[in-house]
């Protein structure tokens, strides 16, 4: 069974077609890296999968069901959660409060009074356990805006997984990190995605090769190849498409 499937997805902004017939099948429980040159449409694919923009044509299936027409929060409640390329946390809330908010959002407001009361308790417990998981327990009551950059990105991963989603999209989770910070981020991502489906846009090939079961290569709005890391490295078409930029052979 597939967690996520793209079927001939197209997206235009005004007159320019940015996604030009993308196809992808992500089996449940696998980790995928999405690589490709800057401007290829990787973040746009995440925006389409998470319902931030509507597709122009084609279909996107989450656990076998079309998400076309659903709003972002509805897709989130069906089990898909994403992070953003630019860090997206509440700077003036504490680390704990950021996590609790994330859990409460994912619960939504359709519940009765008693459900909501229990929801608050669940959200508290869930926030505490995510805090531990992402290694920020001693930063529990620190304002998120005062964390180091690497800690903010760890919090962001915590926010993304806090609601218990099974399909996790991470957009450039190690961008701007030092080698040792990104090594730690790889371990964190591995830990929090055990048993889940991961799609990760990533330029750093040591991160890609350290985490990915499969690599999908996006060039000019199309998935031009999708294969194991070893096979992608040896793929002539992929080599040519990169023109020396972030060539996977560098890893």
Binding residues for ligand ADP restricted to 143-182, rule: CB under 6 A: none
Query: What's the closest the beta carbon of residue 39 comes to ligand ADP, in angstroms?
Result: 4
Binding residues for ligand ADP restricted to 41-100, rule: CB under 6 A: 41-44
- Residue from 18, 34, 41, 43 touching Mg ion (CB under 5 A): that is 43
Query: What's the closest the beta carbon of residue 238 comes to ligand ADP, in angstroms?
Result: 15
Asked if 236 interacts with Mg ion (CB under 5 A), we say no
Query: What's the closest the beta carbon of residue 172 comes to Mg ion, in angstroms?
Result: 6
Mark residues 111-130: x for contact with ligand ADP by CB under 6 A, - for none: --------------------
DSSP E strands in 14-145: the ranges are: 16-27, 31-35, 57-62, 65-66, 80-82
Contacts (Cβ under 8 Å, ≥6 apart) of 41 = 11, 18, 19, 22, 218, 220, 221
Stretch that binds ligand ADP, among 36-44, 130-138, 143-151, 241-249 (CB under 6 A): 36-44
Query: What's the closest the beta carbon of residue 41 comes to Mg ion, in angstroms?
Result: 8
Q: What is the DSSP letter of 149?
A: H
Contacts (Cβ under 8 Å, ≥6 apart) of 32 = 26, 197, 198, 199, 200, 212, 213, 214, 215, 216
- Residue from 40, 103, 223, 238 touching ligand ADP (CB under 6 A): that is 40
- Chain contacts with Mg ion (rule: CB under 5 A): 38, 42-43, 85
> What does the binding site for ligand ADP look like in residue numbers (CB under 6 A)?
13, 18, 36, 38-44
């Amino acid at each position: 069974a597939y967690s996520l499937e793209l079927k001939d997805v197209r997206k235009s902004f005004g007159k320019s077609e940015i996604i030009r017939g993308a196809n992808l099948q992500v089996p449940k429980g696998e980790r995928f890296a999405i690589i490709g040159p800057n401007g290829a449409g990787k973040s746009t694919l995440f925006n389409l999968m998470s319902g931030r923009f509507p597709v122009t044509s084609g279909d996107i299936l989450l656990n076998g069901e079309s998400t076309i027409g659903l709003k972002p929060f509805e897709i989130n409640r069906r089990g898909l959660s994403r992070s953003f390329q630019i860090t997206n946390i509440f700077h003036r809330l504490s680390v704990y409060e950021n996590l609790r908010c994330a859990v409460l959002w994912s619960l939504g407001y359709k519940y009765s009074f008693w459900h909501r009361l229990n929801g608050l308790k669940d959200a508290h417990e869930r926030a505490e356990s995510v805090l531990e998981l992402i290694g920020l327990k001693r930063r529990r009551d620190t304002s998120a805006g005062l964390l180091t950059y690497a800690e903010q990105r760890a919090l962001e991963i915590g926010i993304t997984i806090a609601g218990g989603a099974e399909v996790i999209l991470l957009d450039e989770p190690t961008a701007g990190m030092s080698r040792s910070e990104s090594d730690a981020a790889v371990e964190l991502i591995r830990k929090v995605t055990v048993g889940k489906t991961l799609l990760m846009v990533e330029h750093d090939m040591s991160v890609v090769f350290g985490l990915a079961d499969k690599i999908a290569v996006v060039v000019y709005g199309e998935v031009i190849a999708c294969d194991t890391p070893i096979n992608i490295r040896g793929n002539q078409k992929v080599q040519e498409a990169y023109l020396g930029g972030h060539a996977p052979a560098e890893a």
